[in-house]
Amino acid sequence: MVKSNKVPLTHQELSSKAGKARAEKLSPERRKEISEIAVKKRLENKIIRENPGIPRATHEGILKIGDLEIDCSVLSDGTRIISQSSMYKAFGRAKSGADGRKRAKEITSQLGTGEQVPLFLASFNLIPYMSNDLSKKSSEINFISKSGSKSTGYKADMIIIACNAYLKARKDGVLKKSQLPIAEQCEIIVLSLAKVGVVALIDECSGYEKEKEKNELQKLLEKYIVEELRPWVKRFPDRFFSNFKKMYGIKNINKAKNPQFIGCFINKYVYGELAPGVLDELKRVNPKDDAGRRPGCHHQFLTEDIGCNSLQKQLMTVTALMGVSKDKKEFEDIYNRHLENIKEDN
3-state secondary structure 97-116: CHHHHHHHHHHHHHHCCCCC
Q: What is the pLDDT of residues 30-69, one digit of tens each?
A: 777 777 666 666 666 666 666 667 888 888 888 887 778 8
Q: Given a cut of 80, is residue 136 above it in pLDDT?
A: no
Residue 162, judged by CB atoms within 10 A of its CB (0-12, 13-18, 19+), counts as buried
Residue 94, judged by CB atoms within 10 A of its CB (0-12, 13-18, 19+), counts as exposed
150-155 sheet: strands from edge to edge: 57-65, 68-75, 80-83, 150-155, 141-144
Percent of the chain residues topping a pLDDT of 70:
75
Q: How much is the pLDDT for 168?
A: 92
Report the number of secondary-structure helices (H) and strands (E) in the chain: 13, 5
| Cβ-contact 166, 186 below 8 angstroms | yes
Range in 15-29, 183-197, 259-273 the model is least confident about: 15-29
Q: How much is the pLDDT for 76?
A: 81
Q: How much is the pLDDT for 240?
A: 92
Provide the strand spans (E) within 223-331: none
Residue 320, judged by CB atoms within 10 A of its CB (0-12, 13-18, 19+), counts as middle
Q: How confident is the model at residue 244 (pLDDT cuts 50, 70, 90)?
A: very high
Q: pLDDT: is 293 or 220 the higher one?
A: 293
- State how far the alpha carbon of 145 is from the alpha carbons of 263, 282, 331, in Å: 37, 36, 29
Q: How much is the pLDDT for 268?
A: 93
Q: How much is the pLDDT for 62?
A: 84
Mean pLDDT on 155-181 = 89
Q: Given a cut of 50, is residue 301 above it in pLDDT?
A: yes
Percent of the chain residues topping a pLDDT of 90:
10
Q: What is the pLDDT of residues 247-277, one digit of tens each?
A: 998 887 777 788 888 999 999 999 999 988 8
- Smallest CA-to-CA distance from 105 within 88, 118, 120 is with 118
Q: What is the pLDDT of residues 86-127, one digit of tens each?
A: 888 888 766 656 677 788 788 777 776 666 778 888 888 888
Q: pLDDT: is 23 or 278 the higher one?
A: 278
For 180, residues 6+ apart whose C-beta sits below 8 A from its C-beta are 170
Q: Given a cut of 80, is residue 17 above it in pLDDT?
A: no
Mean pLDDT on 298-322 = 90
Mean pLDDT on 264-291 = 89
Sign of the dihedral defined by the CA atoms of residues 115, 119, 125, 126, in that order: negative
Mean pLDDT on 162-175 = 91
Q: Given a cut of 60, is residue 209 above it in pLDDT?
A: yes
Q: pLDDT: is 157 or 206 the higher one?
A: 157
Q: How much is the pLDDT for 14?
A: 47
Q: Given a cut of 60, is residue 13 above it in pLDDT?
A: no
- Smallest CA-to-CA distance from 271 within 247, 240, 299 is with 299
| Cβ-contact 165, 129 below 8 angstroms | yes
Q: What is the pLDDT of residues 213-238, one digit of tens each?
A: 666 666 777 778 887 778 888 899 88
Mean pLDDT of the chain: 79
DSSP 3-state percent helix, strand, coil across the chain (nearest 5) = 60, 10, 30
Mean pLDDT on 133-147 = 75
In single-letter form, the type of residue at position 173 comes to G
